[in-house]
Amino acid sequence: METNKQTICRIETSKGNITVKLYDETPQHRDNFVKLAKENFYDGTLFHRVIKNFMIQGGDPDSKGAPAGKMLGMGDTGYTLPAEFVYPRYFHKKGVLSAARQGDEVNPERRSSGCQFYIVTGQVLTPAQIAGMENQLNQMKLKTAFDLLARQHMKEIYKLRKNNDMNGLQQLQEQLVAEAQAQVADEPIFKFTPEQIEAYTTVGGTPHLDNQYTVFGEVVEGMEVIDAIQQVKTNRSDRPEQDVVIRKVVVVE
């Protein structure tokens, strides 16, 4: 019986080949990518969205043969995939393969696109920047708790505002802040793992995307191709002025 068999795919592009390893811990994303590759779904699609020091995105079926200037990024398969977050083991270091998706406002479950994906390029961060992000994320937890409490007291807030009771509003705000602080006090303080800190301060990445989008693989060969793609000239919509074509995705093993 075979064990530890890896799923390897080769993304053949007009800029060169990129070899990716798909994670077994994200089986629905792995199997879907393999299925589309075997169906030749990606053949002729473009890396239609390229942002230097951030990521390169492809997989939109509408990008096949798309004329210059056409807006891209909305094409899909007609289905989405459930989020498969394996965090903090898999995170947005440079070179990971992640699933694109619609925003939280219309997609609160953070389900992934059935076909569109991106490869992280990102940038190298300093330890001070990492610490600042940790602080920001912890402050965000407090703000989220406070906003929820405020919504629960909206009638009281409206009444105080209507009566122009500024002292009452101040007292209520202090009360809600104290309640929010008490709520988050029992929660663990957010900290990046040593593995994340090592990666983000050496090879780089996009830590603000962690636990927001499904990471389902990583580049094992062809990082220089990704760097070449992220350097291309793009238009205002982040589409390369000269098409970067995905000629084929081959399932190697």
Task: Answer yes or no: do 158 and 41 share one domain.
Answer: no
Q: Are residues 160 and 37 in the same domain?
A: no
| pLDDT reading at 2 higher than 60 | no
Domain check: are 102 and 131 in the same one?
no
- 15 and 65 fall within a common domain: yes
Residues 92 and 177 in one domain: no
Q: Which CATH number do you get for residue 34? A: 2.40.100.10
Task: Provide the domain limits for residue 113.
Answer: 7-123+203-251
Separation of alpha carbons 166 and 25, rounded Å: 53
Per-residue model confidence as pLDDT tens digits over 186-203: 888 889 999 999 999 999
Q: What is the pLDDT of residues 18-72, one digit of tens each?
A: 999 999 999 999 999 999 999 999 999 999 999 999 999 999 999 999 998 899 9
- Domain count of the fold of the chain: 2
User: Is 198 contained in some domain?
Assistant: no
Residues 180 and 216 in one domain: no
Are 24 and 132 in a shared domain? no
Angle between helices 154-162 and 127-152 (to 10 degrees): 80
Residue 1: pLDDT band by 50, 70, 90 thresholds? very low
| Alpha-carbon distances, residue 50 vs 11, 139, 164, 240 (angstroms) | 16, 31, 51, 7
Residues 17 and 82 in one domain: yes
Together in a domain, 23 and 105: yes
- Considering the domain architecture, whether residues 58 and 23 belong to the same structural domain is answered as yes
Q: Are residues 78 and 46 part of one domain? A: yes
64 and 34 co-located in one domain: yes
What sign results for the dihedral spanned by CA atoms 229, 239, 241, 9?
positive
Of the candidates 14, 58, 13, 50, the one whose C-alpha atom is nearest the C-alpha of residue 230 is 50
Whether the per-residue pLDDT at 140 is higher than 90: the answer is: no
Out of 15-24, 180-189, 214-223, least confident range = 180-189
What tokens were used for 117?
């994906």
Measured from the Cβ of residue 32, the count of other Cβ atoms closer than 10 Å reads 21
pTM: 0.86
